Structure 1
């Protein structure tokens, strides 16, 4: 993202943490940018026609001038209202660079430090490992290196948990790597980092965002509150594909719980001002809004992503000519796709907003624009190129879930429906209720008590189709039994991408312990414990582990995850009784 002579200087500045100069000489003449706009607009029109994407809004800034600001298409399929530069779109993950800019504003004011520890900012905060709890910082959360698994916890938002609950329940997510050693994109982690940074102000994140960034930049249509997006009179409704056509997806995705990571809504006009701030290194209309040194830190590489680097809310890379490039995309499965890309030393950037399921069109338009700018012609057919990338991306997520072919005919029957009815709980996901609905069953999930009918598949397996930003395929609901009577466990595929999807019937064995992970070698463990407790058994005149052996021998050859969880809990109950005996 730098021009050739200056690119080495800028890249070096990034690596050693030097601040860019406040006033940047424009290497790209705004007049040259304007000369490419007719060809670019034709490219936009053709690409929108190819894809059928309902609406687009685009801003281009060069030399602190808004040289292009235009809307295309409609706010909602089937209605005449046109998209304009003031139409408000959901930004999805383009919210992340906005969020880190807000935190930079706080850092520049001395309200918080990038390396402030989360536990010091949020009393009682905990993660799955004590060392990570004690040391994780705002910087590590905003650069996705906290050790949280990729996308872990996002389903909590779908079923209605608020931001406070997200931060509280993070302690139940098993970390996949030591702190600072591994990049894994985490909306929950990013939200925690930003919300923690705002804590010293005593204000809600949404109010901090307005005071630090939106109001000073005259971003009058921008908000971090979902209700403000819903209430906007000039709003772009999200769309998803249904076969070969686009249809509105109502209601839009509510991501306010993760607002710093994905909950901002804005217009192209407002985002043009945001671009001007970054291209002027924290200045807007002649005054400093964000301290340059704090803003510089957001675009300093923090960790390798494997294909580039991630800063604080920015992807940091170079283009084939060595120019420094900063960008971030936003993607809602429920119908929003956005991108921002800018070249700091070139003093030029673009924002593309759309109201469609992500198929790569914003990225294709942005890359086409820079081809025109630097090479005079579009070099590649970017629309199918990015379309294929996104198709693979969505398929990789779908592949995380089990698939269910047509059941055998006849399918093994279900047990009496009353044996499935009840409340099931887990530390991470709270309560799921299985209730009677008509002649069948339904499951209610989360604080929203979102209700889904259960369709019998075979035996103790039922299916339902969740709706939400993180819902992609039908989910299995697997009931586990320990003998006859009522079900003891409920494994929900929708919840199980990190192996945390097993819930236990409320009231069963309310003892501590992680029942999500089956014992690696239960035979060895039980024998070792039995040997170590011979003296206790003799003193008691009976075998307190006899019940454990009975259950284990019955199920040890069943290759069943749920059964292993039941056995794990049963073992914990009995061992607790053994070791608690005087």
Structure 2
């Protein structure tokens, strides 16, 4: 009898254990979510993504989906490296938080005082803009992203010098405009005050103490890593296509960190805990609270598709919103072939990172929201389905925005006349050259074919490693324009969503002439009732019109000089067969005026 009772007791314990195990399994809010993630992967035509979820001090979920290398079927793991793009901004802002704690700066210091190489469009802006304005994107400067995307350089001094020529779209602190240059400036401030590169600071202050051993800030180290993701985009709506890595080294502080889901989970632990990792302070608690609090209104974001999702404010390297009754702090990241989202809900002690190797992807936000809904026991929303509808809507809009070529038209000049350098100080220099019967240029360090579309409009086309030219119409049409002398004077391109083309002015190559060669142009020239004087000042030919300043000239073509201080103004000397100068023509936007040389 006792033996029978023992068997019954054993059976009861086993059944009880199984029931408890089943109950625990069913109580897991993320149970079965892998099925959803695999469906998202397929529906969004994504190569792969990785996810990590932090609850308090613990990583409660960490997994990879899809491929980091589609061609060779190499899977994504939680340790796979991805470019996190602008999710790097919270790291850069945090370095300033540490410097403030050390007493090396305040967020109310004038930006140009902290970084003398930085200047804005006006002296008024120089005097008004403080460091906090840079951190919260409230300088009044719009994105100007094509300036660094198309005209990249590793020289940070060269990039930051462009800010002086960026015309503001609003007054300081009047309107929120996202601007990557402002985070470059912050990184340069860190470099100036510490005597170390931004990259060194990121490694020493964050990567090492947070045990982010997989993370780096260098494109070479990223590409050579044995578990690094390749970058992809979606072509023709359903084709996963590999693209090139983008070297963002010059603009590094705005977005050059490469990391893994597991590494980023440690970063999130700092923010969830109020500044600590394994009970050691990484960031001052007051900075964590300030960075995750509203510093500027981004937009009047009222409830739209969902009445419990609203608010769009910016903190310091973080975006802030109300997600279904919960305070959410997050920041996305996009760079060629990669998209990311890093988020935490401070009141819920919850952090989520989603990294993907898909260009401009909705996957990170879809996955993040799907996780939050389950962990907070909210009524689930089909975020994947909503994302699919947006993709289809965007495809229809894109189809309607392409230009229709006007057939049977030709360029107004021989191709050689379009060759040269074209400059805009807020962006950079476009160099156009000719090979056989085609024009080429460099954009983002990539050789691009300028394919004639109609009249003086050319369509920039990418060329792959096999020489195959992209057939998709670009959104960056090059519209060449001429001056009153009939020569090509500039290129107009619609950039950064502007309603007017950004002009790149022809920059002729300066010629060096000897004093003897310059001497023949000197003298007095009669222009109506006034006398124009042409003379030498050192090795420079000068022009002086009565009542105006003296103008320094730059020799360009044969017997032609540009006036250095006046855009679109030049002088061309008439030289007779005996090499004697007998007249000079003043070429300017409102016409050409000829002056005869006086004896």
Which TM-score applies when normalising by structure 2?
0.74
Aligned residue in 2 for 1:101 = 94
- Native 8 Å contact 1:33 1:62 kept in 2: no
Summarize the Cα distance change of 1:161–1:273 in structure 2 as closer, same or farther, 3 Å threshold: same
Q: Secondary structure at the match of 1:337?
A: strand
Deviation at 1:235?
0.3
CA-based RMSD of the aligned residues comes to 3.5
Does the alignment pair 1:155 with 2:186?
A: no
Please list every run of 5 or more consecutive structure 2 residues that lacks an aligned counterpart in the other structure.
Answer: 1-23, 302-311, 465-471, 512-526, 534-544, 547-566, 571-585
Say if 1:80 and 1:507 are closer, same or farther in 2 by CA, change over 3 A: closer
- Using a 3 Å threshold, how does the CA distance of structure 1 residues 274 and 389 change in structure 2: closer, same or farther? farther
- Within the candidate set 348, 351, 371, 2:350 is matched to 348
- SS where residue 453 of structure 1 aligns? strand
Instruction: Kindly indicate whether the alpha-carbon contact (under 8 Å) linking 1:509 and 1:573 is maintained by their aligned counterparts in 2.
Output: no
Question: 1:41 aligned to 29, 34, 42, which one?
Answer: 34
Distance 1:540 1:129 in 2: 36
1:143 paired with 2:136, answer yes
Change (3 A) 1:99 1:218: same
CA contact (8 A) 1:103 1:198 kept: no
Distance (Å, rounded) in 1 between the aligned partners of 2:384 and 2:569: 52
- Summarize the alignment of residues 16-95 of structure 1 with structure 2, pairs less than 5 Å apart: 35-95=28-88
Task: Write the distance in 2 (CA, Å) between the matches of 1:388 and 1:175.
Answer: 35
Paired residue secondary structure (1:330) = strand
The answer to whether the Cα contact below 8 Å between 1:454 and 1:463 also exists between their aligned partners in 2 is: yes
Decide whether aligned partners of structure 1 residues 474 and 393 sit closer, same or farther in structure 2, where only a CA change above 3 A counts: closer
1:112-511 alignment runs, 5 A limit: 112-149=105-142, 151-162=143-154, 163-306=156-299, 307=301, 308-321=312-325, 323-332=326-335, 334-375=336-377, 377-378=379-380, 380-389=381-390, 403-408=402-407, 410-444=408-442, 448=445, 450-465=446-461, 473-483=474-484, 486-493=487-494, 497=498, 499=500, 501-507=502-508
What TM-score comes out, normalization by structure 1 length? 0.76
Highest RCO, 1 vs 2 (Cα 8 Å, sep ≥ 6): 1
How far apart, CA to CA, are the structure 2 residues paired with 1:191 and 1:32? 47
C-alpha change, 1:537 and 1:177, in structure 2 (3 Å) is farther
In structure 1, distance between residues paired with 2:350 and 2:331: 15
**What's the CA shift for 1:75?**
0.8
Distance 1:467 1:259 in 2: 27
Instruction: Determine which structure has more spread, i.e. the larger CA radius of gyration.
Output: 2
Give the structure with the larger helix fraction.
1
Q: Residue 206 of structure 2: SS of its match in structure 1?
A: helix
2:492 partner SS: strand
Counterparts of 1:32 and 1:133, CA distance in 2:
60
Gaps of 5+ in 1: 1-30, 511-535, 546-564
Name the CA distance, whole Å, in 2 between partners of 1:258 and 1:392. Answer: 33
